[in-house]
Structure 1
Amino acid sequence: MDLVDWLSENPETIEHVQEIGDLLAYRVIGEIDKGFGGGKPREVRRRLTDHFWCDLLVAMAEVIESFSTAMNRIPEYVTTVIVQTRKAERRNPLLEALVGLAVQTAWAPIESMICTTGIEEVQRTCWILAVLICPAPEDHKAVQDGALLPLAKEGMLEVSRERLEQVFPADWVHRLREGLGGA
């Protein structure tokens, strides 16, 4: 099928092409003019016509593909980490299929949150919630290393569960723990 024919059948893509084209033509060029244009922005722009823009777009597309592949592998990776961590910490083993189902079910909404909220905020949220629901963070190495330590590095020194419960509604924390099997 011809590209033009395909585009005529996919108007959403035409809008996306225009959006990225506008981003390059106005925002990126504007920043380049400010940062490198000096008194001769046309000269800088002319040098960029030597395959720079197509290189940029192809490289972005390649990185997006790698990123997408990595994002799709996250549930598999998380499942493996949980199974290995539980084994290393000599905790009761869990059926890998059970862990996989829980991870898959949690991942889709968390992935959406990453797009709307941002990676750092979702990551911080997971750390805080892990500390909040852990029955004994002082005895759980994964929570210590994977949540308490990063929170401490962010400037949140050892925050007790009781203090976190002051921030979150007590009934919500109680319902969450009950919903997670009394954890």
Structure 2
Amino acid sequence: MKHPVICERAKGHYCGCSACGGAQHGWTNALLLARDPSPVARQEARDRSDTAWAATRPPVGRRKPSKDRKAAATDSATVDIVDWLSENPDTIDRIQEIGDILAGPVIQELDNRFGGSNPREARRQLTNHFWCDLLVAVAEAIEKFSKAMDRIPEYMTTVILQSRKAEGRGVLLDALVGLAVRTAWEPIKRMIHTVGIEELQRGCRILAVLICPAPENHQAVQDGALLPLAKEGLLETSRERLEQVFPADWVQRLREGLGEA
């Protein structure tokens, strides 16, 4: 299927692309920006996120931050990640490799098994934060089972299903999730021996943020990707913005990780 460029360059916080099922949402263009030797486009993205943040106002009293303010905060974090990638080209290649696995063999296997006569409709079901769920589960599973790799696919499947249930996401068949996990895991597992666990985890976490249509509405990405990345790749401005829009327990964990508790 021909993939629309508008999905790859998406600036909004929604994905309904039935061509890729969300597997190419945002991240391909983010990597293009990171690879660009000129900083102009990256600075334009930062200016947009700063302008969006300035256009919002802090909540009054016990009101929660507005959705626009939360979106602007996560956009700021994404810009920081892209800037960090521009200075770490090896990680860009790693993320490209992981992303190509999702957008290639994984989506093809799901089409073959679940696409039926209307693969676009089947793919549309995956746009509701499925890929970022999968990537966060990979990063978590690698850390938990680094010495028991054969248990990882089962664990990842459980994590994804539990996370989606807890956040009220659309229900997906256990078999679909299991097939996606197994198809993604085999080539990703081989990467461990060439790049190491830490680098692979970092790549999955970054891709989870880049591919997620709305990190401000996805707790698994906030906890499993943004939190660890905030400790090493985000500027102070973005961390402060996230602290203003994310729950107090998230802020506490961040500050503990930074040694500010």
- The alignment's TM-score, normalised by the length of structure 1, stands at 0.48
Between Structure 1 and Structure 2, the one with more helix by share is: 1
- Which structure ranks higher in relative contact order (CA pairs < 8 Å, sequence separation ≥ 6)? 2
